């Protein structure tokens, strides 16, 4: 039997945008899930969010009311890290801060069992750097979900320098059990998708000014001429201008290619609060 088949209880630390989505995916896949947040209020907010999305799934006929109830019953939330003691697999999705993630890893190692695998959902930090804080870094891997986690199928399973084959395969198979479509990759800046997508979207934005083209026409060019399912401006609005600028800065800091630096125009949009869909206006109005 594979290691992932033995995973019965999952821990998710940090129930923000990503963590709540990951916890939802876990309970929907039939796994007992313990979510940890820093306050009772944030625990409650995450539970309400998950309940809301599951209820929407029922309305849309994607799951039955009984399946929703069963999924919610598998979710426990807590502010106490020691309640993750019985978890075979833990995904951390706390704020993107190296020291916070390293401290958390040390605390987690003190509460979980010998064989538990510890995964980080970091987008831009080095998994190897995070793992260095662990007493047993071989059990640490990256597990990079995409936003929104319940919707997007891809998970990048990241092999850090000292990750064991067993930990990587456990994460890969668990992702499949969650109904995802994982890939394996090394721990390099931006992993696979962001390494390609970030400079590419930045090029698209630079073309707006260089070619004197409107956002509407740029999106038309890439959807009608190259068959992209969504235009680059609409995609940046969906990702969030602030999130994209932050990711560009991180990638540029790590690899230094000029194309990776956020274009002036995006930095200005971020400063003016034109963040895309979430603020009602970015390249387009919503």
Ligand X SMILES: NC(=O)c1ccc[n+]([C@@H]2O[C@H](COP(=O)([O-])OP(=O)(O)OC[C@H]3O[C@@H](n4cnc5c(N)ncnc54)[C@H](O)[C@@H]3O)[C@@H](O)[C@H]2O)c1
The residues annotated with a catalytic role in the active site are: 144
Q: Is residue 38 within the footprint of ligand X (CB under 6 A)?
A: yes
Q: Does 37 bind ligand X (CB under 6 A)?
A: yes
Task: Report if residue 93 touches ligand X, rule: CB under 6 A.
Answer: yes
Residue whose token pair is 């993107």: 96
Is the Cα dihedral 16, 17, 18, 19 positive or negative?
positive
Q: What is d(CA 123, CA 39) in angstroms, rounded to the nearest whole number? A: 24
Burial of 271 (0-12, 13-18, 19+ CB in 10 A): exposed
The answer to whether 281 touches 241, Cβ cutoff 8 Å, is: no
Near ligand X by CB under 6 A: residue from 4, 43, 54, 104:
104
Instruction: Decide if residue 95 touches ligand X (CB under 6 A).
Output: yes
> Given the rule CB under 6 A, which of 51-59, 128-136, 141-149, 209-217 is the region that contacts ligand X?
141-149
Decide if residue 96 touches ligand X (CB under 6 A). yes
- Cβ 284 vs Cβ 237: under 8 Å: yes
Position with the least CB separation from ligand X:
16
Q: Rule CB under 6 A: say whether 194 interacts with ligand X.
A: no
Q: What is the Cβ-side half-sphere exposure of residue 38, based on CA atoms within 13 angstroms?
A: 8
From the list 141, 71, 83, 142, the residue with the least C-alpha distance to 108 is 83
Q: Which is nearer to ligand X, 97 or 264 (CB)?
A: 97
Q: Does 182 bind ligand X (CB under 6 A)?
A: no
Q: Is 42 in the site for ligand X (CB under 6 A)?
A: yes
How far apart (Å, rounded) are the C-alpha atoms in residues 144 and 124? Answer: 10
Q: Smallest distance from the beta carbon of 188 to ligand X, in angstroms?
A: 16
- CA dihedral sign, ordered 76, 11, 112, 178: positive
User: Least Å distance between CB 151 and ligand X?
Assistant: 12
119 binds ligand X (CB under 6 A): no
Q: Does residue 9 bind ligand X (CB under 6 A)?
A: no
Instruction: Give the nearest distance from C-beta 8 to ligand X in angstroms.
Output: 22
Does the footprint of ligand X cover residue 279 (CB under 6 A)?
no
Preceding peptide of 3 cis, ω within 30°? no
Residues 216-245 close enough to bind ligand X by CB under 6 A: 243
Q: Which residue in 284, 4, 241, 237 sits closest to 143, CA to CA?
A: 4
Assess contact for 35 and 77: CB atoms under 8 A. Answer: yes
Asked if 123 interacts with ligand X (CB under 6 A), we say yes
User: Which of 3, 18, 75, 245 is close enough to bind ligand X by CB under 6 A?
Assistant: 18
Return residues touching ligand X (CB under 6 A): 13-19, 36-38, 42, 93-96, 100, 104, 121-123, 144-145, 147, 243
């Amino acid at each position: 039997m594979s290691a992932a088949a033995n995973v019965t209880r999952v821990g998710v630390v940090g129930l923000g945008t990503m963590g709540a989505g990951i916890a939802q995916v876990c309970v929907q896949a039939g796994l007992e899930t313990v979510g940890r947040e820093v306050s009772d209020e944030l625990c409650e907010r995450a539970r309400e969010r998950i309940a809301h999305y599951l209820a929407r799934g029922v309305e849309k006929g994607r799951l039955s009311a009984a399946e929703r109830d069963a999924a919610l019953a598998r979710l426990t939330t807590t502010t106490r890290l020691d309640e993750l003691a019985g978890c075979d697999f833990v995904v951390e999705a706390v704020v993107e801060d190296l020291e916070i993630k390293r401290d958390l890893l040390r605390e987690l190692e003190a509460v979980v069992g010998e064989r538990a695998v510890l995964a980080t959902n970091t987008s831009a930090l080095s998994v190897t750097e995070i793992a260095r804080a662990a007493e047993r870094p071989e059990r640490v891997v990256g597990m990079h979900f995409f936003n929104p986690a319940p919707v997007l199928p891809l998970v990048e399973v990241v092999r850090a320098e000292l990750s064991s084959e067993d930990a990587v395969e456990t994460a890969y198979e668990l992702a499949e059990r969650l109904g995802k479509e994982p890939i394996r990759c090394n721990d390099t800046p931006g992993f696979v998708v962001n390494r390609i997508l970030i400079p590419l979207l930045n090029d698209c934005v630079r073309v707006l000014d260089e070619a004197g083209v409107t956002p509407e026409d740029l999106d038309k060019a890439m959807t009608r001429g190259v068959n992209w399912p969504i235009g680059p401006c609409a995609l940046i609005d969906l990702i969030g201008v602030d999130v994209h600028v932050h990711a560009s800065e991180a990638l540029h800091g790590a690899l230094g290619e000029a194309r990776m630096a956020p274009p002036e125009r995006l930095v200005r949009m971020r400063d003016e609060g034109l963040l895309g869909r979430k603020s009602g206006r970015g390249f387009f109005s919503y």
